[in-house]
Chain A
Amino acid sequence: MAAPVRRTLLGVARGWRQFERLWAGNLGSRSLALAAAPSNKGSPWRLLGAMCLQRPPLVSKPLTPLQEEMEALLKQIEIEKSLYSDHELRGLEESQRLARKKADFYDEEDEEDILLAQDLEDMWEQTFLQFKPGARITEADNKNDRTSLHRKLDRNLILLVREKLGDQDIWMLPQAEWQPGETLRGTAERTLATLSENNIEAKFLGNAPCGHYKFKFPQALRTESNLGAKVFFFKALLLTGDFTQAGKKGHHVWVSKEELGDYLKPKYLAQVRRFLLSDGLSCL
């Protein structure tokens, strides 16, 4: 008897909470219908457009042990199932000729090649050793300099910005208030332009937001028409450009998904992580 009663009570509580959410939403839509204007006068929620700017990875991820084993096996199978190439045939012929020379002890035709296949391979090896490729783990990684773009080259890096809201300094994705007459994506592009002073080029992925975050203002700031704000996130991929060093230091940071937890508030972080791909997968 007690269990079903408890369940019904819980059900009632859940229903009440949903009703509250619906009621708040309906209030917004009803007042919009009354206002009948493109701007957001009726709704108590302010609109903010935010930008999730990601730097795609420059370098491939290191392979797991299983992947390395599989790679080795596939290479082996490929060699086993292939035919001899011209270079390999040449090498085989020359080794046969050398063996005959040693066995027979008489000079064969003088039209030997001066360069054997083996010599060619040695030369190629030498040129390869002289080439110094770029480092996969950069200095910025070693110093853990989070403001530089050159760290964690195998991950996505997301831009975070520190701003004042009320009396607090909060880390968040760059955002700006929506102004009537522009789309929300336009707001996000405006954020990018003002933040980077037009140095950064980014490709926005579509007109639709990828996530949202809703929060209410603290009791002191709440008014009848100003209940809280909704932030809509738009994804963008960084093409070129970076922040100039002369800009404000300590106010922006490029961070991978695991390090987001160091900066963002829990609820905000939970909503942001929903639209970011986890680390086991490629960039998106």
Chain B
Amino acid sequence: MASVTLGACARALRPPSGLLGNWQMQIRDSHQRASLLSFWKLIPMRAEPLRKKKKVDPKKEQAVKDRLKKRIRKLEKASQELIPIEDFITPVKFLDKARQRPQVELSFEESERRALLLKRWSLYKQREHEMERDTIRAMLEAQQEALQELQLESPVLYTEATKRDPSLFPFETKGPDYTPPVSNYQPPEGRYNDITKVYTQVSFKR
């Protein structure tokens, strides 16, 4: 196809006029031809007729495209980067030796005091945990008794009471602070630049 078009272009570009020139050439060398009307040599027959587009071609093109897509997908799968966890990466500036504090030598009394305080603390926490456990158990018992009484009263109300409450969770509430909120507080004015790094993981799904 390409060669035919090339040939056509070359012939079109040749000076002077094409067809007339051909005729002249044939008249010039007519003594070499066997007969005046040797047909196939008169008319330039070096051109090929234009090929018709076969119906198989769209399928082939589709196949080519699919192969390309597969290759792209493989490349993308291989290069999926994970979002780095900033807490696990120690910044380089913290490895500096000048940053380290001098080692503190604890006196004997100090280390004794710390050990005894930790023991008292563990005892306190153990008692606190037991108290919490007992209180929760008592509360659950009270609730179970109430539910039993309710069941004795009316099974319908009991079934409704034992249903889950979908509006209960997610439950968000603000915990206590150190001081209560001031009613007419004016926060200081100012702007801030938020420099937190936001990572997005691009996932290609086709």
Contacts and interface: CB of A to CB of B under 8 A. Distances in A.
Interface in B151-167: 152-157, 160-165
Nearest to A72: B117
| Chain A interface size range | 35 or more
Interface stretch (A113-121, A133-141, A161-169, A217-225): A133-141
Given A57-B176, A59-B179, A59-B180, A208 B161 contact: yes
B121 A185 contact: no
Contacts, number: 141
B180 A183 contact: no
A206 B168 contact: yes
B123 to A, nearest CB: 10
A53 interface: no
Interface stretch (B39-47, B62-70, B132-140, B193-201): B132-140
Interface stretch (A102-110, A190-198, A241-249, A271-279): A271-279
Contacts of A211: 142-143, 145-146
Interface in B163-206: 163-165, 168, 171, 173, 176-182
A58 B176 CA distance: 5
Interface residues of B, number: 47
A40 B155 CA distance: 10
Contacts of A150: 180
B98 interface: yes
Contact of A60 (B124, B155, B178): B178
B130 to A, nearest CB: 11
A97 interface: no
A209 B153 contact: no
Nearest to B149: A212
B100 interface: yes
24 contacts: A47-B153, A56-B176, A84-B98, A133-B182, A134-B180, A134-B181, A136-B180, A138-B180, A150-B180, A154-B176, A184-B150, A203-B173, A205-B168, A207-B161, A209-B143, A209-B150, A211-B142, A211-B146, A230-B153, A274-B141, A275-B139, A278-B131, A281-B132, A284-B139
Interface of A: 25, 28-29, 32, 38, 40, 43, 45, 47, 56-60, 66, 69-70, 73, 80, 82-84, 89, 132-136, 138, 150, 153-154, 183-185, 203-212, 214, 230, 232-233, 237, 271, 274-275, 277-278, 280-281, 284
